[in-house]
Amino acid sequence: MTEPILSVRDLVVKFSLRGQILTAIRGASLDLYPGETLAIVGESGSGKSVFTKTWIGMLDANGWVDSGSILFEGKDLAKFTREREWLTIRGKKIAMVFQDPMTALNPLRTVGMQIQEALELHQDMRGEQAKARTIEILSEVGIDIPEVRYHQYPHEFSGGMRQRVVIAIAVACNPRILICDEPTTALDVTIQAQILELIRDLQRKMGATLVYITHDLGVVANVADRVAVMYAGEIIEYGTVDEIFFDPRHPYTWALLSSLPQLGIKGQPLYSIAGTPPNLFTDIQGDAFAPRNPNALKIDSVRRPPFFQVSPTHYAKTWLLDPRAPKVEPPETIRALRSKYERYAQ
Amino acid sequence: MLKYSLKRLLQSLITVFIVITLVFLLMRLLPEEGYFGDGYDKLTPEQRENILRKFGLLDPWYVQLKNFYSSLLKGDLGKSIIYRPDVPVIDIIKLKIPYSMTFGLAAIAVSLLFGLSMGIHTARNKGRFWDKIWSGYVVFINAVPAAVYLLFIQLYITGLKYKGRSIFPMLFNRHNPRSWILPLISMSLGGIAGYALWMRRYMVDQLNQDYIRLARAKGMSEKQIMVKHVMRNAFVPMAQYLPASILLTISGSIYIESLYSIPGMGGLLVDVIQRQDNVMVQALVLIYSSLGIWGLFLGDLLMAIFDPRIRLEKKEGAR
């Protein structure tokens, strides 16, 4: 495989909350390859957003990178402290699209100006030239009569249109990596599909690397090349979409996929994962998922598993992959998926 | 925008009309003594009736109201009866308004300058040392009765001496600019605290908005975000009350004007009420209340200029 564009190693992020220390990211590692679309999935609070926010230095004021490295273009972003350093990355090289388009735009400035700001910052355009390019971008993201829309305010746009404007801002930055933090969660289903399509088109045009943060596995299957599964601040499994969907190895990934309504069997209650995610204020021993895992091994509660290779592109952090481990079969729904995949692969 | 302004204008006109009418009718309920001046006891019933007739007070109320409006349209607010007998109200306040307004406007300018910068500074350094110091100041100004610290300023600061002479004179003197300073500072203290408090509050509100996060993700520096996104948005809710406070500087400050013997409007209303000069009371209440209404009207217009959501309210249904 080619050289990664961004490489995160053993990242630890902590927050100070009411005098207590919370460890939100517990040694996450990830490589991102140029031009690919990676989806990061996991339940709420697993640290998906926090993880990517460290790449542009936008942790909340009470959070900090404790250890680990984020290598990007020969620099370690984890070592950045000053605003001046971040301004060379933020927007310019790595941009982000946020979840809620309804509140993401300044209500008192015209839509055109908010896009143009990014052009002026990153593409060194001024005045008429910047305006012309803004109008061009507006039409690229599928907004009709952009000359008129340029002068309008956010409240004159619908939710889907506003998300297009937010995406237009990201396009105006022309970043190498675009992080989409649940870009469609706040939109209704028909608009969702349009926005996903739009992002995919623009990615092709810009040649950017795309990172989706989502807990919608349907979106993942649609857009991603590779998937990374996060649990309790760790990447616990990653691989290509096919590998994760049809040959998952980590018990948490099994559980996550089993709880997909689409895979449920009619008449049977929908699968849900027992228990709750671990308390991140405490020091977690061993495999964080062990307390919720019916097949947990003894070692799971003692020592944290390393990454085991399943294939050159597929890794999982579970002791089940250790040669000495007993053979544990994935749940039935997952086996069904696998046999479906084998048929499909032939 | 035009439709919005006209609508607000009409509403304000109606309100002013109602207020004027109400004030006039309420004034009819006051005791008659206020129309006779000092010699009330010595007058015979016939003389009293003559005086009342002269003022037109024996006409039915609707005739009185009509007469009142027609003289009002000519700009005639009537003549003082007791305060300065037979002098037109306009001439009395014409001399006093410049003092009150000059001090008032200067105080607003000072308050805005220091209050807003203080608010911006504390919002940007929320929770740090200077934020705490300035918050302490705001709490102090709001918690301690103004009379206490205003008196202290006059007593102790005028006591400061340089080469045996006071730096700041105790009383106001039109021809001595140094005597303008203490009243101006006294008048601004409250305003500074007020503007700082609200500016800080609105800025902190803004800083937590999603669009500020987006602006940051866009790669804007904190400074650019402050100037282009935060400050203007934070000022909008404050702009609404600015015209009213500017117009109402005309009423002066009772306490500070009397402390420093400034011949302004402060206390005039209280004075004429105590002395039962009905015509003066009526004229002053009219002026203050209509200025209040026009201030709010201008505030609404200012808001609409700043905030497109207001001015485009009815134009398009899209959210």
Tell me what ipTM this predicted complex has.
0.83
The ranges of chain B with pLDDT < 70 are 37-38, 312-319
List Cα–Cα distances, B164 to A36, A335, B159, B260, in angstroms.
Answer: 82, 99, 10, 22
* Confidence (pLDDT) at A65: 93
* Confidence (pLDDT) at B52: 80
pLDDT digits over A278-313, tens only? 888 888 888 888 888 887 888 888 888 999 999 999
Q: How many whole angstroms separate alpha carbon B272 and alpha carbon B89? A: 11
A107, A108, A157 ranked by CB distance to B318: nearest:
A157
Q: How many whole angstroms separate alpha carbon A294 and alpha carbon A312? A: 29
Contact A98 B214 (CB under 8 A): yes
Q: How many whole angstroms separate alpha carbon B184 and alpha carbon B249? A: 13
Contact B308 A95 (CB under 8 A): no
Q: Which residues of A touch B221 (CB under 8 A)?
A: 83, 87
Give the three-state DSSP class for B124: helix
* Confidence (pLDDT) at B319: 37
Contact A153 B312 (CB under 8 A): yes
Interface A-B: count of C-beta contacts within 8 A = 81
Q: Which residues of B touch A211 (CB under 8 A)?
A: none
Q: Which residues of B touch A96 (CB under 8 A)?
A: 217
CA-nearest residue to A115 within chain B is B218
Residue with token string 């006409």 = B59
The nearest CA of chain B is from the CA of A29 a distance in Å of: 23
Contact B318 A158 (CB under 8 A): yes
A90, A104, A158 ranked by CB distance to B219: nearest:
A90
* Confidence (pLDDT) at B158: 79
pLDDT digits over A44-90, tens only? 888 999 999 999 999 888 899 999 999 999 899 999 988 889 999 99
Decide if pLDDT at A342 tops 70.
no
Q: Which residues of A touch B236 (CB under 8 A)?
A: 108
pLDDT digits over A81-138, tens only? 888 899 999 988 999 988 888 889 999 999 999 999 999 988 888 888 999 999 999 9
A95 touches chain B (CB under 8 A): yes
Which secondary-structure segment (H or E) carries A297?
none
Contact A155 B309 (CB under 8 A): yes
* Confidence (pLDDT) at B317: 42
A120 touches chain B (CB under 8 A): no
| Contact indicator for A220, A41 with CB cutoff of 8 Å | yes
Decide if pLDDT at A251 tops 70.
yes
CA-nearest residue to A106 within chain B is B211
* Confidence (pLDDT) at B10: 94
Contact B308 A90 (CB under 8 A): no
B209, B217, B309 ranked by CB distance to A96: nearest:
B217
A104, A108, A156 ranked by CB distance to B307: nearest:
A108
Give the three-state DSSP class for A15: strand
Decide if pLDDT at A186 tops 70.
yes
Decide if pLDDT at A254 tops 60.
yes
pLDDT digits over B297-309, tens only? 999 898 888 888 8
B209, B217, B222 ranked by CB distance to A91: nearest:
B217
* Confidence (pLDDT) at B11: 93
Q: Which residues of B touch A83 (CB under 8 A)?
A: 221-222
A173 touches chain B (CB under 8 A): yes
Please, what's the b/e burial string for B212-239 (b: 16 or more CB within 10 A of its CB; e: otherwise)?
bbbbbbbbbbeebbbebbbbbbbbbbbb
Q: What global pTM score does this model have?
A: 0.79
Q: How many whole angstroms separate alpha carbon A138 and alpha carbon A157? A: 13
Contact B228 A109 (CB under 8 A): yes
The nearest CA of chain A is from the CA of B143 a distance in Å of: 29
Q: How many whole angstroms separate alpha carbon A288 and alpha carbon A310? A: 21
Q: Which residues of A touch B209 (CB under 8 A)?
A: 103
Q: Does residue A185 or residue A74 have the better pLDDT?
A: A74
Contact B218 A169 (CB under 8 A): yes
Decide if pLDDT at A255 tops 80.
yes
Q: Average pLDDT over chain A, rounded to whole? A: 88
Q: Does residue A151 or residue B275 have the better pLDDT?
A: A151
